[in-house]
Structure 1
Amino acid sequence: MTTLIQKMATSEGQPSWATNALRWLSNHIKAIVLPIVGIGIFLIIWSFAASKIDTSLGKFPGPTAVATQVVNLYQEHNTEREKEAAFYQRQEERNAKRVAKDPNYVPKIRAYTGKETFIDQIGTSLITVMSGFAVAAAIAIPLGIAIGLSKNLNTAINPIIQIFKPVSPLAWLPLVTMVVSAVYVSPEPMFAKSFLNSMITVTLCCLWPMVINTSVGVSAINSDWNNVSRVLRLPSLVHVQKIVLPASIPAIFTGMRLSLGIAWMVLIAAEMLAQNPGLGKFVWDEFQNGSSQSLSRIMTAVFVIGFIGFLLDRGMLQLQRIVSWDKASANR
């Protein structure tokens, strides 16, 4: 196809519309075909390797076993939703009969307490990770801007950042659990303690990339832009709004993408260790279950975790493309 494109160039040496169309088609074919080839090779290697590995629970799961579990887990979710709907319907019918006999009766609806399905746990993990990430962003971005604008503040806070940045989430989790248990005491809590434990742990671990990248982006702003702001005598808040934020958006989003990836990894580890609801707990429960399907269900969860992480990163990249003036910074 490359030779064909070269032949269709105009006599003046400028590419024609047909050349541009073929080049566009060639690039898009590569973007589609090459990933498919890579995935196909991976599936072949995985299937071959899985057939050679025997564990205490049977053969290591291959692509077919994982595909089967995807269907099974979806069917289990639908079955559980049908049970939930039937549970509430029975209550409504029972309450209707009670009200018919006694008009003064106040109907009561008990919440359904069935087990969380795999899809429910995906939703729980996503809510938790996005909540922790949002709290971290609300703290880290203003702090990073302040550090980038002030050398003295940077000198004062940098040692703290460097100390806490490498701390593992597994070290934070026991401390967070104890503090939440001691401080968050309410007869009718708005949020479950397990949710707060996971969310705060995620927040603590994804603060640092956002703070560091934001401060670096702010401190690296073109000096001419700062000089223009001084000449115009812009107030501090206007300077941040009109100069600092637009110029540092690429660096801010780089930190946000790094933090979101870290947040997702941290959350799964926290859920496994603390047995908080979510995908991490699903993996640990299946490991403890030790049934003949446990390995394939764990492998399914691994792929789902990875795929969700990929989607979160792509989503953040698309958001960067929307709000950033530098479109080239959001190409990967």
Structure 2
Amino acid sequence: MSAVKRHLAFASVERLSVQSLLLAFQRLFKSLLLPALGIVAFLILWSFTASSINTSLGEFPGPQAVLEQVQNLYQEHRIEREKEAAFYQRQEERNAKRLAEDPTYTAKVRAYTGKETFWDQIVTSLLTVMSGFLLAVAIAIPLGIAIGLSKKLNTAINPVIQVFKPVSPLAWLPLVTIVVSAVYVTPDPMFAKSFINSLVTVTLCCIWPMVINTSVGVASLNKDWVNVSKVLRLPALRHIKKIVLPASIPAIFTGMRMSLGIAWMVLIAAEMLAQNPGLGKFVWDEFQNGSSQSLSRIMTAVLVIGLIGFFLDRSMLQLQRLLSWDKSMELR
């Protein structure tokens, strides 16, 4: 009997091992293989479609042309950084020579003013979008909490939100440009006006989803939690910190994710028109250039814009998981 029991136990363990392997394979298939198959199918479709489209600037760029442009853009960036290093080295040597000849000489250090590369423009766009987004967060979340806690304030401000929420960034940009030119007047500006124009436009366009989602999340708090807060007589700020914010995090982050996606889309259009030296300006300059490589360079920028948007969204999801009290929540 003991041998039969051992055999049955071994068979049961073996079945569990097989089931575990099958479940692990299913998870791997869903998380890695299916996305990989989708990407491969897209690349094949893109290659065949691109080869059949002819434009005034030549054949529409396929994956191979984009890959070549990635290498070219990186090479241009490396060459520009070498020029920058050589410029500062020559300046340092020249100042050292002048100081040796004249100890009273005041050395002057001039900034390198070479051409911004594609990778520099990526950094500029990221700095601009995050600056505008964080400014919108600082305004929208406190405002959304206040609206959610006060029905009277909600009734008063909601019409204003509904009017300005659908306004296009292209409509805001001329007004922002005029106001910034009138207000931001200084002989030695810390930031370029084009940067301020893009930042303010991004803030104006991504503030509304955060306000709406935050106010909805706060207004739909569990009544029992609110009653507990009243019984404990928590001060207003402590009530917000201990009850309102933890319960509203999912709604707040939903609004933040939507706003960050809108901010990234708005920024590219704003950079095209405001000529802020970011990815939008790169696309516009290549379109105006009209060279044989312009299409592939624009397509490269389009893919980079999409990838950055994807990683920004994933980063926001991870931040939500880190700050949320419910670690088992399903994030998509």
TM-score of Structure 1 vs Structure 2, range by shorter chain: over 0.9
Partner Cα separation in structure 1 for residue 273 and residue 105 of structure 2: 46
Q: Is 1:244 the counterpart of 2:244 in the alignment? A: yes
Aligned residues: 324
Change in Cα spacing, 1:228 to 1:20, as seen in structure 2 (3 Å) is: farther
Partner Cα separation in structure 1 for residue 322 and residue 182 of structure 2: 43
Partner Cα separation in structure 2 for residue 10 and residue 271 of structure 1: 66
Map 1:114-129; keep pairs closer than 5 Å.
114-129=114-129
Q: Deviations over 1:90-126 (max 9, x none)?
A: 0001111101100111111111000100000000000
Partner Cα separation in structure 1 for residue 12 and residue 278 of structure 2: 62
Task: Report the CA distance between 1:28 and its aligned residue.
Answer: 1.7
Q: Is the deviation greater in 270-279 or in 16-25?
A: 16-25
AA aligned opposite 1:46? W
Alignment partner, residue 171 of structure 1: 171
Task: Report the CA distance between 1:16 and its aligned residue.
Answer: 3.3
Alignment partner, residue 94 of structure 2: 94
Q: Secondary structure at the match of 1:258?
A: helix
Q: Deviations over 1:164-219 (max 9, x none)?
A: 00000000000000000000111111111111000000000000000000000001
Partner Cα separation in structure 2 for residue 225 and residue 10 of structure 1: 51
Task: Report the CA distance between 1:29 and its aligned residue.
Answer: 2.9
In structure 1, stretches of 5+ residues that fail to align are 1-8
Map 1:128-147; keep pairs closer than 5 Å.
128-147=128-147
Map 1:1-332; keep pairs closer than 5 Å.
16=16, 19-332=19-332
CA contact (8 A) 1:132 1:202 kept: yes
Q: Secondary structure at the match of 1:327?
A: coil
Partner Cα separation in structure 2 for residue 197 and residue 179 of structure 1: 9
Partner Cα separation in structure 2 for residue 322 and residue 153 of structure 1: 31
In structure 2, stretches of 5+ residues that fail to align are 1-8
Task: Report the CA distance between 1:54 and its aligned residue.
Answer: 0.4
Change in Cα spacing, 1:88 to 1:253, as seen in structure 2 (3 Å) is: same
AA aligned opposite 1:43? L
Partner Cα separation in structure 1 for residue 17 and residue 154 of structure 2: 53
AA aligned opposite 1:275? Q
Task: Report the CA distance between 1:19 and its aligned residue.
Answer: 2.7
Q: Secondary structure at the match of 1:112?
A: coil
Question: Following TM superposition, where does structure 1 have runs of at least 4 consecutive aligned residues deviating by more than 4 angstroms?
Answer: 9-13
Q: Deviations over 1:30-59 (max 9, x none)?
A: 311111111111111110010000000000
Partner Cα separation in structure 1 for residue 288 and residue 12 of structure 2: 71
Partner Cα separation in structure 1 for residue 151 and residue 124 of structure 2: 41
Partner Cα separation in structure 2 for residue 120 and residue 161 of structure 1: 36
Partner Cα separation in structure 1 for residue 128 and residue 105 of structure 2: 39
Partner Cα separation in structure 2 for residue 149 and residue 265 of structure 1: 31
Partner Cα separation in structure 1 for residue 30 and residue 321 of structure 2: 23
Percentage of identical aligned residues: 76
Partner Cα separation in structure 1 for residue 296 and residue 53 of structure 2: 13
AA aligned opposite 1:293? Q
AA aligned opposite 1:208? W
Partner Cα separation in structure 1 for residue 137 and residue 272 of structure 2: 25
Task: Report the CA distance between 1:24 and its aligned residue.
Answer: 2.6
CA contact (8 A) 1:10 1:16 kept: no
Task: Report the CA distance between 1:10 and its aligned residue.
Answer: 9.8
Q: Deviations over 1:214-233 (max 9, x none)?
A: 00000111111001101111
Change in Cα spacing, 1:227 to 1:10, as seen in structure 2 (3 Å) is: farther
CA contact (8 A) 1:317 1:330 kept: no
Q: Is the deviation greater in 183-192 or in 112-121?
A: 183-192
Q: Deviations over 1:137-164 (max 9, x none)?
A: 0000000000000000000000000000
Partner Cα separation in structure 1 for residue 128 and residue 154 of structure 2: 31
Q: CA RMSD in A?
A: 1.8
Task: Report the CA distance between 1:316 and its aligned residue.
Answer: 0.3
AA aligned opposite 1:200? V
* TM-score between both structures, scaled by the size of structure 1: 0.94
CA contact (8 A) 1:176 1:201 kept: yes
CA contact (8 A) 1:145 1:214 kept: yes
Partner Cα separation in structure 2 for residue 76 and residue 31 of structure 1: 36
Partner Cα separation in structure 1 for residue 130 and residue 85 of structure 2: 28
Partner Cα separation in structure 1 for residue 10 and residue 245 of structure 2: 45
CA contact (8 A) 1:321 1:330 kept: no
CA contact (8 A) 1:320 1:330 kept: no
Partner Cα separation in structure 2 for residue 241 and residue 174 of structure 1: 39
Partner Cα separation in structure 2 for residue 24 and residue 250 of structure 1: 29
